Amino acid sequence: MRIVVALGGNALLRRGEPMTIDNQRHNVRRAALALADLAGPHQLVVTHGNGPQVGLLVLQAQAYSEVDAYPLDVMDAATEGIIGYLIEAELLNEMPPGASCASLLTRVEVDADDPAFLTPSKPIGPGYDRDTMHRLKAEKGWAFVEEASGHWRRVVASPLPRRILPIDIIGRLVDAGRILEGQVGTLISA
């Protein structure tokens, strides 16, 4: 049986926790314990979100002002790699010797004219209080959404997918009996 498990970015870095690699590794380790039980008798595909992680990377990139920060899609791919590494390492720590796992950076093709680009809705990064949110909105032009009373997060576009790339490689790895881990990034197509 093939099982697809989706781990939210907020499950990997929980709201209110300091956004440290140690906290993320601890949360991934907890997930890996449950995933290892599923992986034994089943084909397992693990996908994950990365909203808190990519938001943190954006903030860290702004600390170095000698060059322009990388675009969001590149930072998204970087966090895919970090999370993939953590999931793969922790999952293989829980699996029997000889088990295999593959992490794959994936992309999704979206329409450049998708109206989601005009109405950002995907939360990324840490939460902010109202005063900090207003300051960042004025300074950086970021859009925000209130997730809880007094808790605001930056939002970015989340367009509808048209096509998952490389879907053929994903299928081949799963058919070969590999545990597959990946997060879907974005490729914009006109």
Global pTM exceeds 0.95: no
Residues 183, 68: Cα–Cα separation, whole Å: 25
Residue 190 has pLDDT above 60, yes or no: no
Which of the given ranges, 27-31, 55-59, 66-70, 183-187, has the highest pLDDT on average?
A: 27-31
Residues 179, 33: Cα–Cα separation, whole Å: 14
Residue 23 has pLDDT above 90, yes or no: yes
H-state helical runs in 3-161 = 9-12, 21-39, 51-61, 72-94, 130-140
Residues 143, 156: Cα–Cα separation, whole Å: 7
Residues 117, 158: Cα–Cα separation, whole Å: 7
Q: What is the largest CA-CA distance in the chain?
A: 53
CATH superfamily of 2-108+161-189: Acetylglutamate kinase-like (3.40.1160.10)
How confident is the model over 121-169, as pLDDT tens digits?
999 888 899 999 999 999 999 999 998 788 899 999 999 989 888 888 8
Mean pLDDT value across residues 39-62? 86
How confident is the model over 66-107, as pLDDT tens digits?
988 898 889 989 998 999 999 989 988 998 888 888 888 888
Domain range annotation of the chain: 2-108+161-189, 120-156
Half-sphere exposure of 64 (CA within 13 A, CB side): 8
Q: Does residue 25 or residue 98 have the better pLDDT?
A: 25
The mean of the pLDDT values for the chain is 86
Which of the given ranges, 7-11, 45-49, 103-107, 134-138, has the highest pLDDT on average?
A: 134-138
